[in-house]
Amino acid sequence: MPLYKTITVNKDTSIAIWKVEESEEYLSKGIFLSQNCQLRYDGMKSEMHRRAFLSIRHLLALYNYVDKDLIYNEAGKPHLKDGKYISITHSHNFTGIIISSSDEVGIDIEMQRDKILRIAHKFTPFEEYRTLANTAAIVRKLTIVWGAKESLYKIYGQQGISFLHHINISDFSFSDESTSAEIVYKGDRSQYNINFLEFEGFTCVYALREV
């Protein structure tokens, strides 16, 4: 069972990351999907997506949840029936969840790729990153910023938010492994704590709303 990593964020919040290496047949054992999720699963053309989908159900099982405990609101934001907060992510062969009994949370895993250089201007003032030592460092930092904004978008859960104009990430060093962020949207201002880690060419970022 390739549970890749677990992180205890605080007494109420934890993360589990899965490295998807098993076959679809193996991952499907012991997993029972609700009717809606079965339809979603059956409609997935990519085997990798189906395997990722199943692996997330195995991550839920670590916290004693089954598929029917996971529900989605009209905006597609996941919730747990018992009222706990959850966020879900997958990227290539990694999946992850963050669950909290006290805080709104978001998580995102991204592969570090040069492609992000071409879209950076769409989500952050790119000039801020030109002082970094080399292209690899710029890609790493941009991936963290993108992951942070994805995590915050998952928490906020409202359409219309602009990554570039409404979500602000405070500057940070790689060694910090954390930073802060703010969302300013339609007169509402909210603050967040951001943490990040890197592994095997991937970046994981998770966010908690400040209470």
**Per-residue confidence band for 73, with pLDDT thresholds at 50, 70 and 90:** confident
20/26 Cα distance (integer angstroms): 11
Judge contact between 98 and 87, C-beta under 8 A. Answer: yes
At 118-168, the pLDDT tens digits run 999 899 986 666 666 688 999 999 999 999 999 999 998 777 899 999 999
73: which residues sit within 8 A by CB, 6+ positions away? Answer: 79, 157
Buried b (16+ CB within 10 A) or exposed e, 86-121: bbbbbbebbbbbbbbeebbbbbbbbebeeebeeebe
Report phi then psi at 132, rounded to 5.
Answer: -70, 160
pLDDT digits (tens, 9 = 90+) for 176-195: 999 999 999 988 999 999 99
What pLDDT does 130 receive? 65
Cβ 59 vs Cβ 79: under 8 Å: no
Q: Which residue has the higher pLDDT, 2 or 44?
A: 44
Return the number of other C-beta atoms located less than 10 Å from residue 25's C-beta: 9
For the stretch 17-56, pLDDT in tens is: 999 999 999 999 999 999 989 999 999 999 999 999 999 9
What pLDDT, in 10s, does the model give residues 82-132?
999 999 999 999 999 999 999 999 999 999 999 999 999 899 986 666 666
Ordered domains of the chain (ranges, CATH): 3-103 (3.90.470.20), 108-209 (3.90.470.20)
DSSP string, the chain: --EEEEEEEETTEEEEEEE--S-HHHHHTT----HHHHHHHHT---HHHHHHHHHHHHHHHHTT--GGGEEE-TT--EEETTS-EEEEEEETTEEEEEEESSS-EEEEEEE--TTHHHHGGGTS-GGGGTTSSSHHHHHHHHHHHHHHHHHHHHHH--TT--TTTTEEE----GGG-EEEEEEEETTEEEEEEEEEEEETTEEEEEEEE--
Average pLDDT for residues 5-26, to the nearest whole number? 97
